[in-house]
Amino acid sequence: MAKDITIGFLGCGNVGSGVWRLLEGFGADIEHRAGLRFNVKKVLVRSLTKARDIQFPDGVLTVNPDDVLNDPEIQIVVEFLGGEEPAYSLMLRALNAGKTVVTANKVAFALHWHELQKAAKTHGAGLYYEAAVCGAIPIIHSLEESLQANRIDKIYGIVNGTTNYILTRMSKNNEDYETVLRDAQQLGLAEPDPAADVEGLDAAYKLSILASLAFHGRVPFEDVYIEGITHVSAEDIRCGQELGYTLKLLAIGKRDGMNVETRVHPTFIRSDHPLANVSGSFNAVYLHGHACKEMMFLGRGAGDMPTASAIVSDLERAATTCQHKYPTFVNELNPKVALHNNTDWQCPFYIRVSAQDEPGVLSRIAKCFADECVSIAAVQQKGEQHNGRVTLVVITHIASEKAMQRAISALDSQIATLESIIRVEQE
Ligand code: HSE
């Protein structure tokens, strides 16, 4: 005899429709295998009259959140609204009413994880969020359960498919950023307003969640350094390729004792690194644990069915768990013992400058670097002279972020102006 689980949806866009279709098409398998029958009783939508691909049975759609949150039969609430509000307040209400919440919402989750977890624990409700990071890739469950016997010291993610698609096309076809972004928007791969993706925010929300789990301490979103891909040029990608590097928007988390650094920025990685071959809209997470060593997860990080795959798996987990589990670190706004946010990380740098082409210029640039103890590993002059200026590419040895920034600000614009600065990961 199958167990009936009554659920409600908050929102029903692309991902919600994917979950509906997955439950419809695969529900019999789940019933047969797990003995569970999920019945979607209520779906909160903005408009009852909007044309939809799915034919919902009469009475399922509602514009009143109370129909989902106040219905005692609804045990699990699945949130698809996205963004901070009203998603956060509605999830909190569901948890306070003792209902388990399954969400794909990295924004509300990254910003209010502590409050949501507190409400869930207080009311014995479950809180599941596999779909919030990297869509179908089971990275949350792996960090929460399968990799618990590890001290993870490094985590690198390509966690945003839109930017990975753009950078892959720029790298493979030598196209410029604006052209590829426009194409990606026409193909529906980038949002009409692409800011959250291309400015790195989406990746930063996900990194805040991943780093908190990997490092067993709350890494607030505000602590993540964020730089997007809007200033990336095809010229830098080409120069990097000549040096054996591939450019990726990496979400980087590192832990050393109580020091943690978390940053999202365009990064040059060796072209033979497994992450360099993660192309198009694919996502990947590469990590290192003291026992498991190196490990990489690869898969689809967005889209209706890949995200539905994570949500429906969470539904099954929620429905078969007698006592819900929560991450064990102190998940509070101001914990007594907190990880220290290190903003002066160390790495090699790629610097491109436009410099006067005359004697002594190189030594003056080198002096600015030397004064800050930044050691130069290689210098290349690129192309021909234009208006008395040439392009110089400098690769440094490992240097401190702050020292590098001071060295750059000390450059005299009469002799050299900064065109770009890109961090390099030597992993
Ligand atoms: N917009 C995200 C991406 C997917 O491009 O990967 C949702 O997090």
Domain end point (choices 341, 373, 404): 341
List CB contacts of 364: < 8 A, sequence separation 6 or more.
412, 415, 416
Residues 129 and 140: beta-carbon distance below 8 Å: yes
251 and 353 part of one domain: no
Helices (H), 321-411: 361-371, 401-409
- What pLDDT, on the 0 to 100 scale, is given for residue 308? 98
Q: Which positions are annotated as active-site residues?
A: 206
Q: Considering the domain boundaries, does residue 324 fall inside one?
A: no
Let me know if residue 331 belongs to a domain.
Answer: no
Q: How far, in Å, is the centroid of ligand 1 from the Cα of 417?
A: 35
**Encoded tokens for 311:** 């949500």
Query: Amino acid letter at 408?
Result: I
CA–CA separation, 88 vs 94, rounded Å?
Answer: 10
- In this prediction the pTM is 0.96
CATH classification at residue 386: 3.30.70.260
Tell me if 267 sits within 8 A of 247, measured CB to CB: yes
If asked whether residues 52 and 18 sit together in one domain, one would say: yes
* Ligand 1 probe mutation, 15, 107, 139, 162, most atoms within 8 A of CB: 162
Residue 226, pLDDT score: 98
Distance set, CA 323 to CA 97, 145, 349 (Å): 17, 15, 48
Q: Which atom of ligand 1 is nearest to the CA of 159?
A: 6
Atom number, ligand 1, closest to the C-alpha of residue 163: 5
β pairing state of 349-356 and 389-396? antiparallel
DSSP H helices, 128-275, are 139-141, 161-173, 177-186, 195-198, 201-215, 234-242
- Give a yes or no: residue 306 inside a domain: no
Of the candidates 251, 195, 200, which has an alpha carbon nearest to the alpha carbon of residue 226? 200
278 with 158, same domain? yes
Cβ neighbours, 10 Å, residue 5: 19
- Ligand 1 atom having least distance to the Cα of 132: 8
> In the prediction, which pLDDT does 43 show?
98
Question: How many angstroms is it from 185 CA to the middle of ligand 1?
Answer: 13
Do 16 and 104 belong together in one domain? yes
CATH assignment of the domain containing 167 = 3.30.360.10
Residue span of the structural domain in which 18 resides = 3-128
Question: What's the pLDDT at 335?
Answer: 75
Tokens of 264: 């999202």
Q: Is 296 among the domain residues? A: yes
CA of 52 to the centre of ligand 1 (A): 23
Pocket test of ligand 1: the residue of 130, 202, 208, 305 to mutate, having most ligand atoms within 8 Å of its CB, is: 202
Pocket of ligand 1, beta carbon within 6 A: 160-162, 197, 202, 301-302
Domain end point (choices 278, 312, 341): 341
Give me the pLDDT at residue 20, please. Answer: 98
What's the 284 CA to ligand 1 centre distance in angstroms? Answer: 13
Residues 370 and 245 in one domain: no
Please indicate, yes or no, if residue 227 is contained in any of the structural domains.
yes
**Residue 134 Cα, ligand 1 centroid: separation in angstroms?**
8
Which ligand 1 atom sits nearest the alpha carbon of residue 206? 8
Q: Over its length of 427 residues, how does the chain's per-residue pLDDT go in tens digits?
A: 899 999 999 999 999 999 999 999 999 999 999 999 999 999 999 999 999 999 999 999 999 999 999 999 999 999 999 999 999 999 999 999 999 999 999 999 999 999 999 999 999 999 999 999 999 999 999 999 999 999 999 999 999 999 999 999 999 999 999 999 999 999 988 999 999 999 999 999 999 999 999 999 999 999 999 999 999 999 999 999 999 999 999 999 999 999 999 999 999 999 999 999 999 999 999 999 999 999 999 999 999 999 999 999 999 999 999 899 999 887 777 777 688 999 999 999 999 999 999 999 999 999 999 999 999 999 999 888 888 999 999 999 999 999 999 999 999 999 999 999 999 999 8
pLDDT of residue 178: 97
Based on the domain organization, do 94 and 151 belong to the same domain? Answer: no
Q: Which of 137, 166, 197 to mutate to test the pocket of ligand 1 (most atoms within 8 A of CB)?
A: 197
Top mutation candidate among 80, 105, 160 for ligand 1, by most atoms within 8 Å of CB = 160
Q: Give the number of the atom of ligand 1 that is nearest the alpha carbon of residue 161.
A: 6
Residues 293 and 146 in one domain: yes
pLDDT at position 333: 73
* 157 DSSP β-pair partners: 251, 285
- Work out which ligand 1 atom sits closest to the CA atom of 165: 5
CA–CA distance, 248 with 282 (Å, rounded to integer):
12
318 within some domain? no
Structural domains in the chain (count)? 3
Short-list 33, 184, 208, CA closest to 113: 208
Q: Whose CA is nearest to atom 7 of ligand 1?
A: 302
Distance 302 CA to ligand 1 centre (A): 6
Whole-number Å distance, alpha carbon 303 to ligand 1 midpoint, is: 8
Instruction: Indicate whether 221 belongs to any domain.
Output: yes
pLDDT of residue 364: 96
Same domain for 180 and 278: yes
Is residue 313 in a domain?
no
Residues 240 and 378 in one domain: no
Instruction: Give yes or no: residues 412 and 385 share one domain.
Output: yes
Domain stops at, among 128, 154, 173 = 128
* 288 and 191 together in one domain: yes
Query: Are 297 and 152 part of one and the same domain?
Result: yes
Nearest CA to ligand 1 atom 4: 302
